[in-house]
Amino acid sequence: MAECGRVDSNTSHTMDKSITLPPDEIFRNLENAKRFAIDIGGSLTKLAYYSTVQHKVAKVRSFDHTAKAAAGDKLYEISMQEEVTARLHFIKFENAYIETCLDFIKDHLVNTETKVIKATGGGAHKFKELIERKLGLKVDKEDEMTCLIKGCNFVLKNIPHEAFVYAKHADSEFRFQTTNPDIFPYLLVNIGSGVSIVKVESEDKFERIGGSSIGGGTFWGLGALLTKTKRFDELLQLASKGQHASVDMLVKDIYGGSYGYLGLTGDLIASSFGKSATADKDFSKEDMAKSLLHMISNDIGQLACLYAKLHNLSRVYFGGFFIRGHPVTMHTITYSINFFTKGEVQALFLRHEGYLGTIGAFLKGAEEDNPNQYSWGENYAGSSGLMSVSPDMNPMQRARSGTFDMLEMDRLERQLVNLPLLQDPSSYIPDTVDLTEDALAREYWLYCFEEALDGVVKRAVASQPDMPEAALRAEKFRQKYRHKLQTLRQQPFAYGSLTVRSLLDTREHCLNEFNFPDPYSKIKQRENDIALKYYQKAVKSLDELSWEEKQFALVQGVLAGNVFDWGAKATDICIFFFIPLSERPWLVDSYDQWLERLKGPPHKCALFFVDNSGVDIILGVMPFVRELLSRGTEVVLASNSGPALNDVTNGELQILTERIAAMDPVIEAGLREDRLLLVQSGSSSPCLDLSRLDKVLAMVVRERQTDLVIIEGMGRAIHTNYYAMLSCESLKMAVIKNSWLADRLGGKLFSVVFKYEVPAGKPNKDCGAFSPS
């Protein structure tokens, strides 16, 4: 959150012009802004703009190896190139800042092609003249409800942990939901001054099916009359401290206890403000505010439940200025929904609820570019994240006055979809441990990432020895990522469910922010060069074994190769042939079932999600792939689209596979006959989310009738997908290289996980075996 000075809200909109807004922290990349939209509410302004971002990417290019290679020749060269990508910026601030912000935009806006600014919200008319005068742009007003729905659809489709359930008394107050791949239909209950209830059936089909005049304006108006408090947030703060039972008449006040015959508990409200008619005393502002909040929330909750049941809808999202992330409001609505539906419907809230209108207005203005044809991802490096406004948590962050909130979305190169082989995409959860709910694990991993920060900084600087300013950029990276870790320690729910994957991804985003696209590039290059020299020796050794010995050695090879992680020294590569894996039975050991399966007919097609460069991919994975090809199984190798740690990228894998094919007729034939395919996964993470994969990969999986999925590595098979259920056979292989995690799973450092699974209850027709437990 960034701060700037402001004047009292009762004064005019002119501001202290001596205060400079930091462009790097708020209006980022404004010089490349091309399109604007604005949503002005009663107290908050939300601004959106599109920009093109220039950043460095690491590219690999194969050397010509037609001539006899010298001993020191490198396999490929690495070059840093400039690349331009699209980014959406969303900024939220109080209306009191609007004039200063418009002045700042005008002073820094370089692009003069923009002629129109899309606007929505009740304040769009009020500030129309000011916007046109300051920016020289024509204000084009869009329908508020249409913008709201478009924005809601956008965040639900593109941000995995967008929706959450609020649980006031749980260890984690925010419980994020897995977004169903098909987001429609749903009910949106927008609580502004009044209430609008909208049924959304598709991208462009929605209908206002009901509403009420009793909404946020009612709470504000009656609250002001009862308490003499004029500010909305102050009313909510009063309510958070009140005891509604002092004002409300409860069931036990009438019947002396519960009304068991009708199933009514004694603490249930029988009459809102019921005691005020008979009690001869004054009521506190806090108690009256709490009673009023309950009355209105219960009314809205019951109305929402009735419409949800009438239209057979189970997903009900709540938004509008009445919500605004306030725990008291979310708790009362949640309680009301749970009571009236007996838990059948959950009250769902949105992490970026405040941005829906401006996102929709922006999308209306960008329809010619068809932004919905792309997938977008939240840029953690430039986003503020969800901040708690609980009266008991973080009073500095709770102070809304003087703060700006930011959300950034990057356009991804590839459209992302579900893996078609997920057994139930709607219930798939990528991450094994939710650190938001596991305080002990959260503290451990935050400590780990903080301790590792110095090493990451050194690695980043070392990856760019010819760039003198690299040290300064690396220091800025250190500061930003440390700040993110500190935020996550206080607000673990800031970017959705906190996981090892999100911590790794946030670090990658911050590295990219300061132009360190691939700190491990030279390490990977060195390890690949050396590992290739041992490939033929490894294959020859395997071919000399009996069939059963060979199958076990192939598995050992993948596991041993995977030990070389996090940039292991390439000079130690010879140790690969002597790595002592833990004795069987392993921590998770389905090897016997796997061996039995191999005695049956071959799989039609195997999808293999690969992990590390060097020893892992060349001496572990490739011999395993070679054996699958020899059995008559087609193989699809899925590798990262972009760099992450020392994971092999698709560009690197293309070069490595071509070089191996020149030495190995089995691999060469696989490529030539189109039985071995190399496809991008669509990911740039050390972990793996099977609900966000390259659309091309999903298409290949379907076309090839894939019946085996192999996932290797700690990030992809342990931190994520350990419990993933697939509709075909799967094999998850990893060596646990973290002693704390090994202990958590009941093992020791370097414990082996070899998890072969057949869909539950489905017999394996090829070998007559059922899924191992």
- Note the pLDDT tens digit of each residue in 145-192: 999 999 999 999 999 999 999 998 777 789 998 877 889 999 999 998
Q: What is the pLDDT at residue 65? A: 53
Claim to verify: residue 504 and residue 532 sit in the same structural domain: no
Question: Which of 256-270, 588-602, 696-710, 739-753 is predicted least confidently?
Answer: 256-270
pLDDT of residue 112: 61
More confident residue, 222 or 414: 222
pLDDT at 246 over 70: yes
Q: Rounded to the nearest 5 degrees, what angle is found at the Cα of 199, between the Cα atoms of 198 and 205? A: 105
For residue 336, being part of any structural domain is answered with: yes
Q: Which of 694, 736, 498 is nearest to 609 (CA)?
A: 694
* Residue 152 falls inside a structural domain: no
Coil, helix or strand at residue 700: helix
Q: What is the pTM of this model?
A: 0.89
544 with 465, same domain? no
597 backbone dihedrals φ, ψ, rounded to 5°: -65, -35
Say if residue 545 is in the same domain as residue 588.
yes
Cα atoms found within 13 Å of the Cα of residue 608, Cβ hemisphere only: 28
Flag whether pLDDT at 250 surpasses 90: yes
| 665 in the same domain as 639 | yes
Q: How confident is the model at residue 769 (pLDDT cuts 50, 70, 90)?
A: very low
DSSP class of 180:
P
Q: Are 212 and 194 in contact (CB under 8 A)?
A: yes
Largest CA distance in the chain: 101
Residue 12 counted as domain residue: no
CATH code for the domain of 49: 3.30.420
Provide the CATH number for the domain around residue 325. Answer: 3.30.420.40
In tens, the pLDDT along 306-326 reads: 999 999 998 999 998 888 888
> Which CATH number covers residue 476?
1.20.1700.10
Q: What is each CA distance from 165 to 317, 334, 344, 607, in whole angstroms? A: 10, 8, 13, 35
Contacts 24+ apart (CB under 8 A), 67-72: none
Regarding whether 212 and 240 lie in a shared domain, the answer is yes
CA dihedral (632, 637, 638, 641) positive or negative: negative
Task: State the pLDDT confidence band at 388, using cuts at 50, 70 and 90.
Answer: low
Q: Please give the span between the terminal C-alpha atoms of the chain, in angstroms, as a whole number.
A: 48
Domain, as residue range, for 750: 520-757
Q: pLDDT per residue over 198-212, tens digit each?
A: 999 999 899 999 999
Q: Is the pLDDT of residue 398 over 70?
A: no
**pLDDT, tens digit, 9 for 90 and up, residues 329-364:** 899 899 999 988 888 888 999 999 989 999 999 999
pLDDT reported for residue 26 = 84
Kindly report, residue by residue over 73-86, the tens digit of the pLDDT. 678 888 888 889 99
Tell me: do 189 and 292 sit in the same domain.
Answer: yes
For residues 354 and 406, what is the distance between their CA atoms, to the nearest angstrom? 11
Q: Are residues 580 and 640 in the same domain?
A: yes
Radius of gyration of the chain (CA): 29
Q: Supply the DSSP string of 129-162, one letter for each residue.
A: HHHHHHH--EEEE--HHHHHHHHHHHHHHH-TT-
Q: Is 2 inside a domain boundary?
A: no
Is the same domain home to 343 and 476? no
Domain count, the chain: 4
Neighbours of 448 (CB within 10 A): 14
Q: Tokens 């129109």 map to which residue?
A: 116
Strand, coil or helix: what is 365?
helix
pLDDT surpasses 90 at 125: no
- Residue 578: the pLDDT is 45
Residue 424 lies in a domain: no
Show the tokens assigned to 533. Answer: 């020299």
Say if residue 717 is in the same domain as residue 576: yes
Q: Is 770 among the domain residues?
A: no
Averaged over 274-294, what is the pLDDT?
A: 92
Instruction: Measure Cα distances from 355 to 92, 321, 487, 763 in Å.
Output: 8, 11, 21, 49
pLDDT, averaged across the chain = 88
What pLDDT, on a 0 to 100 scale, did the predictor assign at position 450?
Answer: 97
Average pLDDT estimate for 270-285: 91
pLDDT digits (tens, 9 = 90+) for 497-517: 999 999 999 999 999 999 999
Q: What percent of the chain has pLDDT over 90?
A: 68
Per-residue pLDDT at 43? 79
**Identity of residue 315:** R
Among 479, 514, 549, where does a domain finish?
Answer: 514
Tell me, yes or no, whether 317 and 184 share the same domain.
yes
Across 50-59, 60-69, 600-609, 705-714, least confident range: 60-69
pLDDT at residue 452 is higher than 90: yes
CATH code, domain carrying 536: 3.40.50.10880
Task: Calculate mean pLDDT across residues 727-742.
Answer: 95
* Structural domain includes residue 764: no
Q: Tell whether the model's pLDDT for residue 403 goes beyond 60.
A: no
Sheet of 315-319: strand order equals 174-176, 163-166, 346-350, 315-319, 186-191, 195-200, 206-212
Q: What local confidence, expressed as pLDDT, does residue 22 receive?
A: 56
Structure tokens at 429: 């959860």
Both 676 and 541 in one domain: the answer is yes
Residue 395 has pLDDT above 70, yes or no: no
Residue with tokens 């892992």: 616
On whether both 569 and 660 belong to a single domain, the answer is yes
Q: Which two tokens stand for residue 4?
A: 């700037």
Torsion of CA 465, 471, 477, 481, to 10 degrees: 100
Answer yes or no: is pLDDT of 19 > 60: no
Other beta carbons less than 10 A from residue 7's beta carbon: 14
Asked if residue 392 has pLDDT above 50, the reply is no
- Residue matched to tokens 């590798």: 639
The answer to whether residue 259 sits within a structural domain is no
